[in-house]
Structure 1
Amino acid sequence: MSEIKAAQDKKKCDDCYKYRDELLKNSPAVIYMSQQIEKLAQTHPKYRKQIDNIDKSLFNKNNIDNSSESNKSPIFIPSKHLICDICPDNTKLAGFHPDLGILICANQISSSNKFLLESSITHEMIHYYDNMRFKVDLNNLKHHACTEIRASMLSGECAMSFEFFRKFSTFKMFGGFKDCVRRRATLSVINNPNCKSQEIAEKVVDEVWNSCFGDTRPFDDVFFG
């Protein structure tokens, strides 16, 4: 890697951490999800042992003072489990791994899409929350479909303004929100290696739709935008 490319990537990661820290301080959704994850961790001591077994060096990229986090449980420490890095996948802003936490793709953030970062991080934090509650098995397509339905529904990413940004100009005033949630959940399931076709993805989403779309926890209601 050239020195110029390395410097560019470092700048992208530095900026990414600034955006992350701003959201951790100012975003109602991100703050609320952090609190709810912490609440789950405090009421389920088994998570302490689970996190203690994770290789902490995997989360050594952070630009935040850990002193303010010293009284938190180890299940979700933003500076350790919400990290920025350069991603080879150019299709999304962030991703979740059950063992490693949430990765924000610093190289995918631009001035034109930065406003999507809040909903993207909230989306992944809902996956984090669901995995704590249910121990989601992503090899199980129904599990995958359910957490994707909930994440798309609760993160705000299916707000009308975001759909227009994505060029879905046919967004309907009535039913458009559900269409967006269903579409995005189906697209995610299609990318699961265990899903063999779009028809299977659509069928699985349909099978779990009523129960998962009706589950708004930890929120009291859904933001339709």
Structure 2
Amino acid sequence: MDQPKEAATSAPAAAAPTPVVSDGPKKELFNDPARTGFDPEMKWWMNYFRILSGGMTNEGKFHYREWRYKVHEERDCRRCEENRNWLFTHSPVVRFLSEKIGDLNGDLNKDNVMCRRCPARLTEDGQVHRQSGGFSPDHGILLCANEIRDRKHMEDTLAHEMVHAWDHLRWKVDWMGDKDLKHAACTEIRASMLSGECRWTRETFTRGQWNLTQQFQHCVRRRAIQSVMARPRCKDEEQATKVVNQVWESCFSDTRPFDEVYR
């Protein structure tokens, strides 16, 4: 359902709290100026100077980034809405998917494709958890205004979530995996495959993945596993990988509602 962004930053060992070994969910880290060097009570340029002078840890930089997103929330959402409206008017893939969703008695418009700021989370293992979009059968599509880099990134994100919407109308997907995680695995494979987010240029120049063979397949599989892992019913990466592998052949070959993979 959620489309994860592949970014993970580890704070220096000396600056981070002692990791807690646990099989359960990792605890979220909240800012402590004495530990991180980021102080929200200070002017932005003073915090920025701390970054430039090495006076802020990676954890502090994360909290600074989130703080600035709050400041620019209105600007980011306005730009997001402008790009969303443009894509619904001019993007071939968005218009095609919108038409196919309409054929299944669905309707996506500015009231249920919403631009919002999406706070990221930093956990005690140093992992940053963020997303660029999401789909909910009850509420529609979420576009994360602060995480989307440009119009092309939004087009990929919107196409990804629209594939989820089409799948839900067509098959009534078990999104949370309450009965079977295979539903989630299949729709994530299809969304990553059909949205364009795994094209060679995106993988190479944006994510730094320089695979020369089967790059597309590796990307789709990796991102599907990451998305399945985000489901509450998924225990770990091993289970997510197993489920994705179980449905891979049938779902990777299913390009509906497209005739083939175009992007």
Q: What TM bracket, shorter-length normalisation?
A: 0.7 to 0.9
Cα distance, 1:8–1:137 mapped onto 2, change above 3 Å: same
Query: Between Structure 1 and Structure 2, which shows a larger proportion of helix residues?
Result: 1
Question: Do structure 1's residue 177 and structure 2's residue 241 form an aligned pair?
Answer: no
Aligned residue type for 2:118: C
Match 1:166 to one of 206, 209, 230: 206
Match 1:92 to one of 111, 120, 131: 131
Task: Provide the rounded CA distance (Å) in 2 between the counterparts of 1:5 and 1:116.
Answer: 18
Secondary structure at 1:122 match in 2:
helix
Matching of residues 144-223 of structure 1 within 5 Å: 144-172=184-212, 174-223=213-262
Task: Provide the rounded CA distance (Å) in 1 between the counterparts of 2:116 and 2:145.
Answer: 6
Matching of residues 75-154 of structure 1 within 5 Å: 75-89=106-120, 91-110=130-149, 113-138=150-175, 139=177, 140-154=180-194
Secondary structure at 1:182 match in 2:
helix
TM-score, normalising length from structure 1? 0.77
Q: Where does structure 2 lack aligned partners over 5 or more consecutive residues?
A: 1-67, 121-128
Aligned residues: 185
Question: Do structure 1's residue 15 and structure 2's residue 79 form an aligned pair?
Answer: yes
Secondary structure at 1:14 match in 2:
helix
- The runs of at least 4 consecutive aligned structure 1 residues that moved more than 6 Å come to 4-7
Which structure has the larger Rg over C-alpha atoms?
Answer: 2
Deviation at 1:166, TM superposition (A): 3.4
Secondary structure at 2:254 match in 1:
coil
Cα distance, 1:105–1:5 mapped onto 2, change above 3 Å: closer
Task: Provide the rounded CA distance (Å) in 2 between the counterparts of 1:6 and 1:160.
Answer: 33
Q: What does residue 12 of structure 2 align with? A: none
Task: Provide the rounded CA distance (Å) in 1 between the counterparts of 2:224 and 2:184.
Answer: 9
Task: Provide the rounded CA distance (Å) in 1 between the counterparts of 2:211 and 2:77.
Answer: 34
Matching of residues 54-65 of structure 1 within 5 Å: none
Would the aligned equivalents of 1:160 and 1:171 in 2 still touch at CA under 8 Å? Answer: no
Matching of residues 25-44 of structure 1 within 5 Å: 25-41=89-105
Q: What does residue 45 of structure 1 align with? A: none
Deviation at 1:109, TM superposition (A): 2.7
Structure 1 residues 19-43: Cα deviation after superposition (integer angstroms, max 9, x where no partner) = 10111111111110000000111xx
Aligned residue type for 1:148: E
Would the aligned equivalents of 1:153 and 1:181 in 2 still touch at CA under 8 Å? Answer: yes
Q: Where does structure 1 lack aligned partners over 5 or more consecutive residues?
A: 42-74
Task: Provide the rounded CA distance (Å) in 2 between the counterparts of 1:5 and 1:31.
Answer: 30
Aligned-CA RMSD value: 1.8
The percent of aligned pairs where both chains have the same amino acid is: 44
Task: Provide the rounded CA distance (Å) in 2 between the counterparts of 1:214 and 1:156.
Answer: 15
